[in-house]
Amino acid sequence: MLCEVCEQALAHVTCTADAAALYLACDRDIHSTNPFASRHERLPVGGHSIL
């Protein structure tokens, strides 16, 4: 599953609010832009947890 933002890197998380698969850096880019987005719940792809 590829990141839906850059479409180049493998997605590491899915955002439940956006229903989007995201690479870690893109996830951080998107969700650091405003306080509402930063509250989105993200789930790890593939069942491995990331902290």
**Residues engaged in binding Zn ion (CB under 5 A):** 3, 5-6, 9, 15, 17-18, 23, 26, 40
Give least dist CB 48 to Zn ion, A: 18
Q: Which amino acid is at 1?
A: M
> In the complex, what is the shortest distance from the CB of residue 33 to Zn ion, in angstroms, rounded to a whole number?
10
Nearest approach, Cβ of residue 37 and Zn ion (Å): 5
Nearer CB in complex with Zn ion: 9/45? 9
Give kind and range of the element (H or E) at residue 42.
Answer: strand 42-44
CA angle 1, 4, 38 (to 5 degrees): 110
* DSSP H stretches of helix in the chain: 24-31
